[in-house]
């Protein structure tokens, strides 16, 4: 498998996961702006957004920055943000 294709697939997958975390926090959390912030950060993982950022600024986000950002997002969502409690609230509202 091509290395670039693997990076793109990982970017799409992780971007979708982070976007879902952001949406849950936006609508079922106690801090809507935190959720919107996570949704905005999820754009860093989508390959088309990376192409746009590179065209706009001339550089792309390094992989190590994305890894650190991902660790921060998971720490904030799972530890501080109580993501599983918010998912329970979301499922109860359906």
pLDDT at residue 7 above 70?
yes
What is residue 81's predicted lDDT score, i.e. its pLDDT? 62
Question: Average pLDDT of 8-37?
Answer: 88
pLDDT of residue 80: 66
Record the pTM.
0.80
pLDDT per position as a tens digit, 50-88:
899 899 999 888 889 999 999 988 888 877 667 677 777
Domain ranges of the chain: 3-92
87 compared with 44, residue with greater pLDDT: 44
Show the tokens assigned to 90: 């979301």
CA 57, distance to chain mean position in Å, is 21
Dihedral class, residue 82 (left if φ above 0, else alpha if ψ from -120 to 50, else beta): left
């Amino acid at each position: 498998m091509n290395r670039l294709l693997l990076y793109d697939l990982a970017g799409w997958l992780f971007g979708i996961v982070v976007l879902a975390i952001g949406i849950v926090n936006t609508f079922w959390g106690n801090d809507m702006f935190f959720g919107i912030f996570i949704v905005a950060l999820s754009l860093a993982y989508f390959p088309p957004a990376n192409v746009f950022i590179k065209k706009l600024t001339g550089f792309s986000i390094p992989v190590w920055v994305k890894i650190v950002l991902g660790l921060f997002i998971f720490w904030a969502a799972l530890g501080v943000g109580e993501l599983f409690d918010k998912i329970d609230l979301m499922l109860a509202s359906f």
